[in-house]
């Protein structure tokens, strides 16, 4: 026999032995494999059912001194802080507000009404200012778009159709807090 013939004979013999072992194994190939009985752990966080968020009816909190500091909203149990007031990309003015959730549950996206802005003229008469909307100005985002988790903070931006200089004597109302006076400009 030549070397080539011997190699071919060995390959055929090994293949037959493997097929015989597979045929004699007795396992049903269509049966599902047994699952080992051990406790598995998941990397996903465990979400416990908690009481839902319930806002409280309270009198508004007036902030007319030091408008840069956080103001606590007892009705929503959140802190509001005006971070800056700037010119808007589409004109008007944008008020940037930091909100911090102090609740043990998430703050839903509909927990508070849209904020309002009113400016005062020289005679002291208040004029309500219209908010800019995403329908009018595509790409403008100005709301809480996802629930805010317990202890979490996020920045919100609200655009209004007024000039930057008109905010020297304004009332910005968000949640149960009214910021009154010259809104902080950065």
Number of helices followed by number of strands (H, E) in the chain: 1, 9
Residue 1 has pLDDT above 70, yes or no: no
pLDDT at 90: 80
Nearest C-alpha neighbor of 160 from the set 119, 126, 117, 125: 117
pTM of the model: 0.70
Residue 182 has pLDDT above 60, yes or no: yes
155 with 112: CB under 8 angstroms? no
User: pLDDT-based confidence at 10, cuts 50/70/90?
Assistant: confident
* Most confident of the ranges 10-19, 47-56, 58-67: 58-67
**Mean of pLDDT values over 47-52:** 66
The gap from C-alpha 107 to its chain's centroid, in whole angstroms, comes to 10
User: pLDDT-based confidence at 178, cuts 50/70/90?
Assistant: very high
Domains of the chain and any CATH numbers: 61-181 (2.60.40)
**Mean of pLDDT values over 80-101:** 92
User: pLDDT-based confidence at 156, cuts 50/70/90?
Assistant: very high
* Most confident of the ranges 14-23, 89-98, 110-119, 140-149: 110-119
């Amino acid at each position: 026999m030549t070397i080539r013939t011997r190699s071919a004979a060995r390959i055929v013999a090994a293949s037959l032995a493997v097929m015989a072992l597979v045929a004699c194994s007795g396992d049903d190939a269509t049966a599902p494999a047994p699952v080992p009985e051990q406790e598995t752990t998941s990397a996903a966080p465990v979400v416990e059912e908690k009481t839902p968020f319930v806002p409280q009816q309270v009198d508004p909190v007036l902030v007319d001194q030091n408008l840069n500091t956080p103001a606590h909203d007892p009705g929503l149990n959140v802190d509001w802080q005006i971070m800056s007031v700037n010119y808007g990309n589409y004109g008007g003015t944008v008020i940037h507000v930091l909100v911090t959730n102090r609740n043990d549950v998430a703050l839903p996206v509909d927990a508070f009404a849209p904020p309002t802005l009113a400016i005062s003229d020289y005679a002291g008469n208040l004029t309500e200012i219209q908010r800019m909307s995403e329908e009018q100005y595509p790409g403008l985002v100005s709301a809480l778009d996802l629930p805010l988790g317990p202890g979490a903070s996020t920045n919100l931006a609200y655009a209004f159709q007024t000039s930057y200089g008109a905010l020297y004597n304004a009332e910005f109302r968000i949640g149960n807090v009214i910021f009154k006076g010259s809104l902080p400009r950065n």
